[in-house]
Amino acid sequence: MATSQAPGEGPIRPVSVSLHEGTIAALKARTGKRGMSAYVEALIQRQLERERLRELIEDAEAEHGPVDQAAVDAKRAILRGDATSSADAA
């Protein structure tokens, strides 16, 4: 029985994908010819992580209800240093 590999794990093997010429040119300009595979691998891994995060958020919202956007905005401001926490304000 074959084991399933997580993104970024397992042996590397070539695959064929079709891209627009303009996309290929921009990719080569950014990465050089030899860096294309690593760049595309990183992009795909990032997209898979985002999709999995979206699924986790949807599952949590289905179980607990939608998030309070004002609370999210307040936490985001704290993380960005745009606001002081309530403990700092006291």
Domain-located, residue 31: yes
Domain count, the chain: 1
Domain-located, residue 7: no
Domain-located, residue 10: no
Domain-located, residue 56: yes
Length of the chain: 90
Domain-located, residue 12: no
Domain-located, residue 55: yes
Domain-located, residue 40: yes
pLDDT digits (tens, 9 = 90+) for 33-83: 889 999 999 999 999 999 999 999 999 999 999 989 999 999 999 999 986
Residues spanned by the domain of 72: 21-84
The residues, any chain, with a CB within 8 Å of residue 19's CB and separated by 6 or more, are 27
3-state secondary structure of 77: helix
d(C-alpha 6, C-alpha 15), whole Å:
17
- What is the reported pTM? 0.69
* Whole-number pLDDT of residue 83: 66
